[in-house]
Structure 1
Amino acid sequence: MQSENPFVADFVKMMNGAAGTLAGVGREARDNARERFREFLGDMDFVSREEFEAVKEMAATARGEIEDLKARIAKLEGKSGE
């Protein structure tokens, strides 16, 4: 029959508690770092992918319209070669 030493049992409980505490501190530090990084990125002037794609589409449409208008102006001015 083996008896449990109360000192060892208390020491093991204390180490388990310390390990849990350290894990909690690690999670809290990670979460704080993430939040700081998000704040840092939020202060910068980034646009979302959706906004970028919308502006890109608007620019392509505007370029097409400009080319059409150039052709119409050239035709009206008689520079189209006709």
Structure 2
Amino acid sequence: MQSDNRLFDDLVKLVNGAAGTLAGVGREAESGARARAREWIGGLDFVSRDEFEVVKAMAVAARDENDALKARLDALEARLGATPTPSADPVPTA
């Protein structure tokens, strides 16, 4: 009877060791995949969320300033009673 328990104990130890090894291999594979993904993404021209938010805020501010300047120009033209005339060198709008 003693030998049966020892065999069972050895089998349990073997299975536990294999499970631990498989878990370690899984963690190592995951970290390797993450490192390769970071290298691949790092080679692309992505911007961080912070950089995107800064540029987005700058674009909103520029649009607001453009709208304010257009309203001011329209008010000045209305005050002068002049109609806007196309200039010889039109400024491209973007």
Is the TM value for this pair above 0.5? yes
Counterpart in 1 of 2:32? 32
Moved more, 18-27 or 62-71: 62-71
Counterpart in 2 of 1:4? 3
Equivalenced residue count is 78
Question: Deviations along 1:24-73, whole A, 9 cap, x unmatched?
Answer: 11110111111111111111111122211111111121122223334455
Distance 2:71 2:59 in 1: 18
Counterpart in 2 of 1:57? 57
Q: What's the TM-score, normalizing by structure 1?
A: 0.68
- Whichever residue aligns with residue 3 of structure 2, its letter is E
Counterpart in 1 of 2:45? 45
Distance 1:15 1:64 in 2: 67
Q: Identity of aligned pairs, percent?
A: 54
Distance 1:10 1:63 in 2: 74
Q: What's the TM-score, normalizing by structure 2?
A: 0.61
Counterpart in 2 of 1:18? 18
Task: Name which structure has the greater RCO, CA cutoff 8 Å, separation 6+.
Answer: 1
Measured on the aligned residues, the alpha-carbon RMSD in Å equals 2.4
